[in-house]
Amino acid sequence: MMLKEIEKEILNLRDKERAKVLSRFFKTGKGQYGEGDKFLGITVPKQRLIAKKYKDLSLNDAEKLMLNKIHEFRLTAILILVHKFRVGNETVKKGIVDFYLRNTGKINNWDLVDLSADKILGAYLIDKDKSILYKLARSKNVWERRIAVISTFNFIKNNQFEDILNISEILLNDKHDLIQKSVGWMLREIGKRNLHVEESFLKKHYKKMSRTMLRYAIERFDGDKKKFYMQK
């Protein structure tokens, strides 16, 4: 019953013109990273309200939402998972993490990853074995690799840099734009907290990094420092 109510509320918010914009923005054309993704044109704040209203949705029904080809159904399910994880006990958290890892194939656009990976997987692993992130970082699936990177944002916020530095080395020559951007972003986040750590990494690797990764990493640097790193 709750599942059908969620689906109805989401469908009632559809905006055809915004859906066209989002379809272009999230690269849903043939051969693009979001190929085949379907949008209704609903803003994230509106989806957050629905997720909050239906926060008690079961994991079984959340999985049904995530099986849907419509992007907003999957994102709403993920937002519900984030809430459940935040308020749950250790048993609940473990169940959500297991669910999340079973369903990485449905977390298949960058916003789905970025709004959940550090809040679920990263938060859970902060004081645990992190080998799963290294496995994901070596995946052939771009979304699993991005999950590995973005999960470490939770560690970075807690001044734990070792894992993102290791994962960045694994992905240093990744060809996908979305991975280059995410690694550069996380390196920049390190720099906000410890510039020495970021620059130590950059001085070792900047000549081998893609321009995209490097630009993201040095975005906050002053002009002279940017010039130094870009002259590789």
Q: What is the pTM of this model?
A: 0.95
Q: Would you tell me which CATH number, out of the four given (2.40.30.10, 1.25.10.90, 1.10.645.10, 3.90.650.10), belongs to the domain 117-232? A: 1.25.10.90
In degrees, to the nearest 5, what angle opens at C-alpha 61 toward C-alphas 58 and 65?
Answer: 135
- Give the start-to-end residue ranges of the domains of the chain: 1-108, 117-232
What pLDDT is recorded for position 232? 67
- Which residue intervals of the chain are DSSP H helices? 2-12, 16-25, 44-53, 59-66, 71-87, 90-102, 110-114, 123-125, 131-137, 142-151, 153-157, 162-170, 177-193, 195-205, 211-217, 223-230
Do 204 and 185 contact (CB within 8 A), yes or no? no
* Closest to 153 measured CA to CA, from 125, 134, 175: 125
Do 143 and 108 contact (CB within 8 A), yes or no? yes
What pLDDT is recorded for position 134? 98
CA-based torsion, 103, 117, 95, 51: positive or negative: negative
Do 141 and 108 contact (CB within 8 A), yes or no? no
What pLDDT is recorded for position 138? 98
Name the token pair of 153.
């944002």
Q: How far apart are CA 31 and CA 196, in angstroms?
A: 40
Do 229 and 218 contact (CB within 8 A), yes or no? yes
Q: What does each of the 232 residues of the chain score in pLDDT, given as a tens digit?
A: 789 999 999 999 999 999 999 999 999 998 899 898 999 999 999 999 999 999 999 999 999 999 999 999 999 999 999 999 999 999 999 999 999 999 999 999 999 999 999 999 999 999 999 999 999 999 999 999 999 999 999 999 999 999 999 999 999 999 999 999 999 999 999 999 999 999 999 999 999 999 999 999 999 999 889 999 988 6
Q: Considering the domain delimited by 1-108, tell me its CATH architecture.
A: Alpha Horseshoe (1.25)
Residue 116 in 3-state DSSP? coil
Domains 1-108 and 117-232 share a fold: yes
120, 150, 231 from 133: Cα distances, Å: 13, 10, 32
